[in-house]
Amino acid sequence: MARKSVIKASQVNEDTLQDSDANTKVMVEKNANEDKIRFDTAGTERMIITNDGKVGIGDNITPGYKLDVDGDIKIRGGDIRDNSGGKVIEMDGSGFLKFTNGQKYAKGVLVSSASSPAASGGNQDGGWIKFASFVCPGSQTFQTAASSFLITMAGGESSNNKALTGTFLVSVKFTSDRDNQSYIDYGTFLYCEPLDTSKLSSAGVDEFDPTTDLLMIFPTNTSTPTVDLYIRSCSKLKNCFATHMGGTGQTDTTTSDIGFTINTGQSWSATEPATPANNVKITGTWASKVFSKLTIYDKAEVNSLEVNAMTVKVRDVNSTSTVQDSDYVLRCIQNQAITLTLPPKNTSQGRVLQFKDVLGNANSNNITIDGDGSDSIDGNATYVMNHNREGVTLVCDGINGWMIMSRIRP
């Protein structure tokens, strides 16, 4: 029968198991009745198990959790599991993580515990907040840092601005001029993609515009500039939440560099951040661009539109009918008199319609354009196209009806 050996506390020097020079040891009662197990090596406490079962790993650590590690850890098994044993995070051994079932919750970082200020001293509602920064390391091999952020202005809402919010995708890139302690302008930019900015501004306040409300500020007289990003809330009592969507870090340095980081504990400013001496201020730009075919099935409102080529819908009509919601150019190929009824003015403000007698027989087969109900056409109930090859362009004013903007009679 195997014998069991028991080392009792009375057989160990003051409840301690130690080596010959006493600098590496295990202590189960360093202090009277503390009920803790301590592990020392080379004269320093490296691990502790507390009386309430918390395990701390690190030099002279006081653990606050079941497992509290001060320093880097390596998980050889590759997985982190939940209470049921299911995989939550998988590690592929190459420095990448996989969320096994996706990311169910994702709260943005609260940039400031305070909300945007109300109007005062001639300033409008809202204010400025520094939501992210990048500290250039000054390395001769450093070139660029780029990141993308999701910014949401919401929360802290009063009764009169609950519907107001704003969500943006912000992309930033900073490229240093390594030889001149400056930056490269064509490699430094700040783009913004709006998601719901139309609901950000309250009455009497300008709508969000990145050319005035999104800023990048940094010095140009140092090889280690701090690049700060600011955004403006256009309404009061808003919190700023930022989510880092990803970025390059600081390329051409080391793989551990983090690049742009989200700021916390910031203060709101009612006025635009100043640009100190030897600093540059770069404003944002709308990022939306379409590089392929774009089809709009509903109304689209734009402040300005630049296109290389545009295609509009053309529809043939040869009988009395009502103008359709998708019509723009109506190609009249009638062989008898026809009447075309316009859409109602109250849902068509700003809409443009064009009519053309294509076959050149409007003189004998008139085309009557009729307003909806009491809607007028330049003050008249109808407009009759009775010249061969005639073309007419109408625009709805949303008040009286339709206006004749051009008429061509060859």
pLDDT in tens, 167-190: 889 999 998 877 777 788 888 999
Tokens of residue 124, six digits: 């409008």
Q: Determine which of 75-79, 149-153, 321-325 has the lowest per-residue pLDDT on average.
A: 75-79
SS3 293: coil
Pick the more confident residue, 249 or 235. 235
Q: Is residue 315 a contact partner of residue 330, using CB atoms and an 8 Å limit? A: yes
Query: Comparing 181 with 56, which gets the higher pLDDT?
Result: 56
pLDDT of residue 71: 92
CA distances from 320 to 332, 347, 361 (A): 11, 22, 16
> pLDDT over 90 for what percent of the chain?
50
pTM for the full predicted model: 0.64
Cα–Cα separations (whole angstroms), residue 332 to 102, 169, 270, 324, 405: 56, 46, 58, 14, 19
Q: Phi then psi for 151, rounded to 5 degrees? A: -115, 130
Strands (E), 72-178: 79-81, 87-91, 97-99, 109-110, 127-135, 144-154, 166-177
Is 11 a residue whose pLDDT tops 80? no
Least confident range of 36-45, 179-188, 202-211, 346-355: 202-211
Q: How confident is the model at residue 83 (pLDDT cuts 50, 70, 90)?
A: confident
Q: What is the rounded radius of gyration, in angstroms, for the C-alpha atoms of the chain?
A: 35
Residue 125 DSSP class = S
CA 59/CA 61 separation, integer angstroms: 5
Which whole number is the average pLDDT over 259-286?
93
Give SS3 for 49. strand
State mean pLDDT over 146-162: 76
- Of 216-225, 277-286, 351-360, where does mean pLDDT reach its minimum? 216-225
Yes or no: say if 193 and 158 are a contact pair by the CB < 8 Å rule: no
pLDDT recorded at residue 249: 64
Residue pointed to by tokens 């044993």: 85
Return the number of other C-beta atoms located less than 10 Å from residue 350's C-beta: 10
pLDDT in tens, 358-375: 999 999 999 999 999 999
The mean pLDDT of 52-63, rounded to a whole number, is 95
Q: Quickly state the pLDDT bin for 208 (edges 50, 70, 90).
A: confident
Confidence of residue 395 (pLDDT cuts 50, 70, 90): very high
What pLDDT is attached to residue 250?
A: 56
pLDDT of residue 1: 47
Cα-to-chain-centroid distance, residue 289: 16
Residue type, 20: S
Specify the 3-state DSSP secondary structure of 409.
coil
Residue 156 forms beta bridges with which residues?
none
Q: What pLDDT, on a 0 to 100 scale, did the predictor assign at position 52? A: 94
Lowest-confidence range among 244-248, 266-270, 293-297, 321-325? Answer: 293-297
Measured distance CA(208)–CA(316) in Å, rounded: 42
Sequence-separated (6 or more) residues with CB below 8 Å from residue 358: 331, 332, 333, 389
